[in-house]
Amino acid sequence: MARLFKRRGEKKKGLWRRAVDLALTDVRVAVGGVDHESLESLEERLLTADFGVDATMRLVDHVAALARRGRVSGGSELRRALRDEISRILEPAGSSFLQIAETGTTVYLIVGVNGVGKTTSVAKLAHRIRGEGRSVLIAAADTFRAGAVEQLRVWSERVGADFVAGQQGGDPAAVAFDAIEAAEARDIDVVLVDTAGRLHTQRNLMEELQKIDCVIRRRCEGAPQECLIVLDGTVGQNALAQVRSFSGAVDLSGIILTKLDGTARGGIVVGLQQEFGLPVKLVGSGEGVDDLSDFDPDDFVEGVFEE
C-alpha cells in the first residue's frame, strides 16, 4: 500500500521542550550514584509529566538496572539513560505516513470525544492532503451535534475540499456511504469521514460508530485505510482511557494529538506508545490551518532533553 505525506523539513524540538516538562534538575543524584530517593524523585517527575504508569515503571526500572551495574553515577548519565530508553519505546512510532489505496478511493475515519479539536483537525488534514496535490472530500457524518454540519461546510470551503452532508439527526453511516459514492463519481482521491464526538458510556453512539466503520468496509474494499483517533494533549491520562474505549469499537491505526501549544503534559505520547503500541501520526499545535505536523520521535526526544 502506498503512503501519504513526505517527511517535512521543519523541526519541532521547541514544541516538545514546552510540552514536556521533566524538570530533571530536581532529581538529585547522590554522590555514590542513583539511590532509592533518586528513583522515587524520578518516578514522581515522570508521572507529573503524564508519561503514565506503564511507561514510568519501565523507565525507572531501566535506570535502576543501569545504576546497579554502576552505569548511572550522575545527572548526565541519568539523562542519557532516559533518552535512550524513550527512543526505544517510540521507535515503532517512527512513521507518520498515512496509508493510501493503491487504486481507487482512500477513506480515513476520524473519531474521538467531544471538544478535542476533531473537526478542526479534519480541516487541517484536508489542507495538507490538498497540498500534496490530491483531491479531498469531507463527509459530515456528525448528524448529532447542532451546527456541526455548517461548521464543517465552512472549513471545507476554506481548504478547497468537496463536501457531503446528510440531514440533522439522519443516519451518519448513510452519509459515509454517500460520500464514497460521490468521491468515486467525481474521481476524488481521499474521503475524510468526520464523526460525532462520543463517550464510551454512550452505547448507542459507539454502536453507531461500528456501523459507520462496517458500511465503509463493505462499500470500499480495503477501507478505511486509516482510523485516526483525535486526542486532546491537555487531558493527560484521560487520553489512555479514551483510546482504550474506542479500541473496543473500531480498529484504530493512529493518533492525532492536538492542543500541544497549551500544555506541559506531552509525556502522554510515550504512555500511549508503551501501553497500546499506537503511533502518534500527527500533532496539532495552533489554530492555523497549517498547524498540523508530522510526529517525529527524534524531534520529541531531542526537544525533551535539549539543555
Q: How far apart are CA 105 and CA 135, in angstroms?
A: 10
pLDDT of residue 161: 98
pLDDT of residue 262: 59
Instruction: Name the residue with cell 521543519.
Output: 10
How is the chain split into domains, by residue range?
Answer: 15-93, 98-305
Cα 214 from chain centroid (whole Å):
23
Q: How far apart are CA 278 and CA 270, in angstroms?
A: 10
User: Is the pTM higher than 0.75?
Assistant: yes
Instruction: Name the residue with cell 502506498.
Output: 2
Tell me the mean pLDDT per 10 residues along the chain, length 307. Answer: 54 57 57 78 89 94 93 86 93 76 96 93 97 97 87 96 93 97 98 89 86 97 97 89 93 92 74 91 87 88 80
Pairing of strands 292-294, 280-284: antiparallel
The C-alpha cell of 173 is what?
A: 453511516
Give the number of other CB atoms < 10 A from CB of residue 9: 5
* Element at 241 (helix H, strand E): helix 238-247
Q: How far apart are CA 180 and CA 53, in angstroms?
A: 41
Give the number of other CB atoms < 10 A from CB of residue 129: 23
Q: How far apart are CA 31 and CA 68, in angstroms?
A: 14
CATH for 15-93 is: 1.20.120
Dihedral angle computed from the Cα positions of residues 142, 153, 257 and 248, in that order, rounded to the nearest 10 degrees? 20
pLDDT of residue 146: 75
Tell me the fold of 98-305: Rossmann fold (3.40.50)
